[in-house]
Structure 1
Amino acid sequence: MSADLPEYYFRVRENGALVFRVDTQNRQRRIDMDQIAVVNIRNGEIKPHGDRILSDDDLEVIRDWMQERQEVLAHRDIDDIHRAVDYMNLTTQWAQSRATEEQLEDVTDALLLAMHDLRSVLVRKKADRLLKGNQ
């Protein structure tokens, strides 16, 4: 089992990760994880943990992970938006066919405000893109 483990482990946090070096080559033959760095995806910062000095290999692995993580998060963002479109369609069908008056009363104002806000942003952004395309 230990031969299949990666050399590094990234414990994901909201804005990045804690980076650990995985060690299985010890006398007790157990898995040791030694924290070597803290990574911030938002600003690209890599902070060595404690008094550590990160090797070029460490930095390369961390930067590669950061790039892959940013790609995963970007994919998730657009996937979430596509799901939101599906939810809007399902909500429309629910309101049309199954919702009771009490249920509609409960959600109508919140939905109308959210849709108005979204529409305003989308229209403004679309107009900005059209204006940029004409210049």
Structure 2
Amino acid sequence: MIGNIPGYYFRLRENGALVFRVESENRQRRLGMEPIAVANLRNGEIKPQGERKLTPEDNAAIRLWIEQRQAGQAQRECDDALRLADQMNQIAHWAQTRAKDAQLEAVSEHLLLAMHDLRSVLVRKKGDRLLRQGGLASEDAAQNAG
């Protein structure tokens, strides 16, 4: 079957995973997967399944998975934002060079509202960061943020 079988399998579900302990050493030479816990990515909580007691190794493996999964999701979110910037550039080019009046009429309000919302959030968050860093001491800095 598989050469190196991991000790744990994480079945993804919304906001976490169902954790299985993978067992490959049994009489029938079959792969066994025993559900041992539910891992919550949002709050980092690990709930054992049923009356099961998790070993320190179980907890360590699950915590490592949570950390790696959260880091991967954070990276994907940044990648998504950068892809969106690329798409916005492509839409601007399309709108200027190829879009027909009817097409622009169909999408303009949606795009304008979404861009206004995004801009408002980004400007507010940038202002918050500057205030926390003590960098919003002058009106010039405030004007540059907006």
TM-score (normalised: structure 2): 0.87
Q: Structure 2: 5+ residue runs without aligned partners?
A: 138-146
Q: Distance in 1 between matches of 2:36 and 2:57?
A: 12
Contact 1:38–1:47 (Cα < 8 Å) also in 2: yes
Say how many residue pairs are matched.
135
Q: 1:15 & 1:107 partners in 2: Cα distance?
A: 33
The match for 2:36 is 36
Instruction: Report the CA distance between 1:52 and its aligned residue.
Output: 0.3
Q: Which residue of structure 1 aligns with residue 87 of structure 2?
A: 87
- Stretches of structure 1 that go unaligned for 5 or more consecutive residues are none
Deviates more, 1:117-126 or 1:62-71: 117-126
Moved more, 65-74 or 93-102: 93-102
Amino-acid identity (%): 59
Contact 1:2 1:24 in 2 (8 A): no
1:7 and 2:17 are equivalent in the alignment: no
Q: How far is the alpha carbon of 1:3 from its aligned partner?
A: 4.4
> TM-score if structure 1 supplies the norm length?
0.93
TM-superposition CA deviations, 1:13-45 (whole Å, max 9, x none):
120101001111112211111100000010111
Residue identity in the other structure for 1:34? E
Root-mean-square deviation (Å): 1.3
Deviation at 1:93, TM superposition (A): 0.9
User: What stretches of structure 1 move > 4 A for 4+ residues in a row?
Assistant: none
